[in-house]
Chains A and B, each alone.
Chain A
Amino acid sequence: MYLTEVKEWDIVKKQFRYKLKSYFGVFNSMMAIQLLAILFSFNGTGMSGGSSGTLDYEVHYFTNDIIQVFTMIWAFISAIIITTKAYRYDDYAFVTNRKVSHYSNFLFLFSASMFAGVTVYLSTHLFKVLTHMLVDQSSIMVDSMTITEFMTGTGASAMYIFLFATAGYFVGMLTQFNKIFSILLPVVFIGALILDGLTGNPTLLINAATFFGSETSFIFFLIKVLGVSFIFLLGSMGISNQMEVSK
């Protein structure tokens, strides 16, 4: 019997609130990376041209793909950073255990991903306005977007970021478990890509990306992303249980 009963969920909420304030630098790095991505996007993502008898055309393509990809990499790296000792030991300022710490980290990653998803969409407008001012083209065309496309697009953008964040969290936990993984994982990843490329028929990245990217139903896509993220969470929790206790 204790004087104060501690509820697990209350501590998760407290830690989550604390992390939102304490990890604020994560959002500043996101801002810097998105601005860098906008700069990189000015070059365009492609160009095509041709002639169809009576019409000679040249099309310069601009998309927010670079902003999206950079933000996904940012999420991956930020998630690795919050698994480092300095961040993990912050949690012991509260009455806590590892499970609670993981839950609050996942809540933080989820909310950060949602925020990042919205800023990706908004930064596309900043990119459009800047391109409009700086690029001299005869006609500018903007793809129309329905409300449903906007909702599913922003949601999918945030989900892709969350997927990378949870993958980063898992990789971070692996690295914390044994430092050898910090060398082994990049070597295996890049080595596998090179070997895959050497075969002339790359399948590794394609298969992984097709699993999410070829999904045309938003609900199934959501299930896939959340399912894989859940596996990463379980994996991270499993790894941290094998780690020695903090002193």
Chain B
Amino acid sequence: MNMLMMFLPILIILLLIAGMGTLMVRASRRRRVSPKKWRRMIIGYIIILLLAAILSYSVLPENAEVVKTLSSNEMKQIESEQMKWMEAAHSGKLKDLEGVYTSKKSWSFPYDDSKLDITYLGEGAAYVMIFVEEISKGDDVIEAVHYTGNVFIDGLDMTEKKSSAQLELKGNILSLKAPDLASVNITKFSNGFPFQQFSGKKNGLFSSERPSMGAGRDFILLKVPEGVEVNGHTNYVRAE
């Protein structure tokens, strides 16, 4: 019985299509509707389709983002580069961040104290790592940049949708608040299966692989003037 119920929707659709197809073909043969009218209907349909295609290409891009879906290999490469950077950072080497992580927000605080305490505010703040770099040159300024790792949802890069962390300096206490939880509601138009089969994004038609990558790590890169003693929740302090 269950098996029959499973096939029921398919059977109904098949019967519906078969019925409609047969009726329309027979109706055209019996000449209930003149061939001219049939022809006009088809021409009208094609005109509507062409107009819709023009509209879709001209109007939709203004309201919809045309996105390039990344393949699973491309995402793995990005993930691997970010992992390498993170490993190097933990062992004391802050490599160039250009093209590896995305910067969300930057701050600059004038600072002339010799001590700096870092505290986390609220839940989730500990999720954001802090790397501290001592800079010898420059003014008495603390520079901070929030970097975030990429987040992919079904191959779509959603990094831009993430919120930024919040930093506040009061006296010699630098408080870090975790980024607010960002919500995205996406309508995604994917090309049909014949278009995806040869695009290289999937391994054929039946690949169930829906490429997505876990949470990209967030961290703050803090540049403090040389000689400032940093205390608190930092992951690594490096002197230049």
B162/A143 in contact, CB under 8 A: no
Given A52-B214, A156-B195, A31 contacting B45 (CB threshold 8 A): yes
A144 sits at the interface (CB 8 A): yes
Total interface residues in chain A, CB < 8 Å:
83
Q: Tell which of B45, B148, B203, B206 has the most Cβ of chain A within 10 Å.
A: B45
Given A25-B28, A54-B181, A149-B198, A60 contacting B206 (CB threshold 8 A): no
Picked from B18, B184, B187, the residue with its CB within 8 Å of the CB of A77 is B18
**Residues on B with beta carbons closer than 8 Å to the beta carbon of A139:** 64-65, 184-187
Picked from B18, B35, B46, B193, the residue with its CB within 8 Å of the CB of A119 is B46
A126/B158 in contact, CB under 8 A: no
Q: How far is the CB of B179 from chain A (nearest CB, A)?
A: 5
CA distance A125 to B178 in the complex (A): 41
Considering the complex, which residues of chain B in the window 90-129 have a beta carbon less than 8 Å from any beta carbon of chain A? 124, 127
**Residues on B with beta carbons closer than 8 Å to the beta carbon of A56:** 181-184
**Residues on B with beta carbons closer than 8 Å to the beta carbon of A54:** 127, 148, 151, 162-163, 178-182, 215, 218
B20/A29 in contact, CB under 8 A: yes
A194 sits at the interface (CB 8 A): yes
CA distance A83 to B199 in the complex (A): 36
**Residues on B with beta carbons closer than 8 Å to the beta carbon of A140:** 60, 63-65, 186-189
A153/B206 in contact, CB under 8 A: no
CB closest chain-B residue, reference A58: B185
Given A54-B162, A77-B18, A138-B184, A59 contacting B153 (CB threshold 8 A): yes
Picked from A55, A65, A141, A143, the residue with its CB within 8 Å of the CB of B181 is A55
**Residues on B with beta carbons closer than 8 Å to the beta carbon of A135:** 187
Given A138-B186, A153-B191, A214 contacting B20 (CB threshold 8 A): no
Can you list 24 pairs linking A and B with CB atoms under 8 Å apart?
A25-B27, A26-B25, A28-B24, A28-B42, A32-B24, A54-B127, A54-B179, A55-B151, A55-B162, A56-B184, A57-B153, A61-B188, A68-B194, A81-B21, A81-B22, A122-B50, A139-B65, A140-B60, A140-B188, A141-B187, A144-B66, A153-B195, A159-B194, A218-B198
**Which residues of A are at the interface with B, using a C-beta cutoff of 8 A?**
21, 23-29, 31-33, 36, 48, 51-65, 67-68, 70, 73-74, 77-78, 81, 86, 119-120, 122-126, 128-129, 131-132, 135, 137-145, 149-150, 152-154, 156-157, 159-160, 190, 193-194, 197-198, 206, 209-210, 212-218, 221
Can you add 4 more A-B contacts, CB < 8 Å, to A54-B181, A55-B161, A141-B64? A57-B158, A61-B190, A132-B63, A213-B205
Top 4 A-B pairs ranked by shortest CB distance?
A25-B28, A153-B195, A213-B205, A29-B24
